[in-house]
């Protein structure tokens, strides 16, 4: 008999509950609460049916109100039309805005096939509209080229429109030039 009484009471309770709280709940959500948190994320951007860019991360946190996404322990790959990797990068942390500006931090490594060079840093900032990659003034950035040249310095800045880069302080390294020895 107890089971029979419980079923109508429980059914009434379920029917009277509603998950539609209207906009009042979402309006009161604090900006410190992320919109979503995802684990084991992979995002592929496709252009003309061919993968153009992939982002993979152990964790992604989306902040819709702030228009930002955080990626933790991420890997970035860019592909050419033959699906070969032309740029690859990885870091501990990436904060990217809806305007595609980004802050990258922690054990950064990137390699560009196009430039035949790699970059290592602790922090970098990307300004998408200006196509400008830079570091903090006090941070050391190391660029190693496939020809054996190594440049190191602080206050790094690379302008991808003009394909130029510079350091503002602590510049050092080895520049290789010339041709291969003839045997």
| Terminal Cα distance for the chain, rounded | 100
Residue 28, in any domain of the structure = no
pLDDT(157) > 80:
yes
Question: Domain range for residue 46?
Answer: 35-173
In this prediction, residue 74 carries a pLDDT of: 95
CATH code, domain carrying 102? 2.60.450.10
Higher pLDDT among residues 151 and 8, named by residue: 151
Q: Strand, helix or coil at 65?
A: coil
Count how many domains the chain has. 1
Q: What secondary structure does DSSP assign to 68-121, as a single string?
A: EEEEEEEEEEEE-TTS-EEEEEEEEEEEEETTS-EEEEEEEEEEETTTTEEEEE
In a domain, 8, yes or no: no
C-alpha dist (Å) from residue 32 to 65, 92, 145: 10, 21, 42
Which residues, other chains included, contact 157 with Cβ-Cβ below 8 Å and sequence gap of 6+? 132, 133, 134, 135, 165, 166, 167, 168
**For a pLDDT cut of 70, what percent of the chain falls above it?**
80
Q: Is residue 24 part of a domain?
A: no
pLDDT value of position 2: 41
């Amino acid at each position: 008999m107890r089971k029979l009484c419980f079923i109508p009471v429980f059914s009434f309770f379920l029917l009277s509950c509603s998950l539609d709280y209207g906009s009042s709940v979402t309006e009161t959500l604090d900006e410190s609460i992320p919109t979503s948190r995802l684990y084991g994320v992979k995002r592929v951007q496709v252009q003309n049916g061919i993968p153009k860019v992939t982002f993979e991360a152990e964790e992604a946190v989306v902040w819709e109100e702030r228009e930002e996404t955080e990626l933790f322990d991420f890997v970035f790959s860019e592909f050419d039309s033959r699906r070969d990797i032309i740029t690859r990068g990885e870091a501990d942390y990436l904060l990217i805005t809806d305007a595609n500006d980004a802050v990258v931090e922690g054990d950064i490594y990137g390699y560009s096939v196009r430039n035949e060079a790699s970059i290592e840093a602790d922090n970098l900032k990307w300004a998408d509209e200006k196509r400008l990659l830079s570091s903090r003034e006090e941070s050391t950035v190391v660029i190693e080229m496939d020809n054996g040249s190594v440049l190191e310095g602080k206050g790094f800045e690379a302008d991808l429109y003009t394909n130029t880069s510079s350091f503002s302080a602590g510049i050092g390294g080895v520049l290789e030039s010339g041709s291969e020895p003839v045997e």
